[in-house]
Amino acid sequence: MPNRQQAQAAGVRRTVIRSLAALLGMFAFAFALVPLYDVFCRITGINGKVDATAQSIVHEEVDTSRYVNVQFITRGSAGLPWQMSVEMRQMSVHPGQTAEVDFTFSNNSPNETWGRAVPSVSPSNATRHLRKVSCFCFEEQQLQGDERLTIPLVFQLARDLPEEINTITLVYTLYPVQETLRHTSLNGTRNNKKAARETI
């Protein structure tokens, strides 16, 4: 009887250890998604991965004869207690025109957390015709517990955008940021918080 109880106890310990290992593995994978995504898109060139650095506005004549519908989609992450919303879900923009739209990040937890919004563009061939002048996606963001932060996206559609492209969709997906990346982003995040900010 004691041997049977010992075997059962050993089985329970193995199950607990395996469960903890699987849980740690899932957390590690969630934190690794952003760099893995960056590497994958850099190698394959797919999924409309956009430039991660600010671009300058090009002063060119605006094509007022044509409108392009720009849509914005935001997605959360199971590993990050944030909500991301956008001022307007879509807007009409002329090629050559510079436009601005506000995005709001809300931390729904009482703890300080870090995250990053990873962008993609559809159709993918519109990527090289989209200039991001200012974007929260260039660096990691820090939010205190229950904090809300509003940051603008400033972009320009190039005048040479192909005629067949009438709709461009920008998708922003939130991901948690691992501890080792936080310190390198702190100064940039502080500067970014010169934008409108509100604590709930």
Could you report the per-residue pLDDT of 37-93, keeping only the tens digit for each?
A: 554 444 334 444 455 566 666 778 999 999 999 999 999 988 899 999 999 999 999
Phi-psi region of 155 (alpha: psi -120 to 50; beta: other; left: phi over 0): beta
Q: What is the pLDDT of residue 13?
A: 76
- H/E segment holding residue 187: helix 179-192
What's the pTM? 0.65
CA 165 to chain CA centroid, Å, is: 24
Q: Over 70: is that where the pLDDT of 134 sits?
A: yes
Q: What is the pLDDT of residue 18?
A: 78
Reduced DSSP (H G I as helix, E B as strand, rest coil) percent helix, strand, coil of the chain, to 5: 35, 35, 30
**Which residues are 197's β-sheet partners?**
149
Q: What is the pLDDT of residue 182?
A: 52
Weakest-pLDDT range from 30-39, 115-124, 153-162: 30-39
Q: What is the pLDDT of residue 7?
A: 67
- What is d(CA 64, CA 177) in angstroms, rounded to the nearest whole number? 41
8 A C-beta contact, residue 121 and residue 73: no
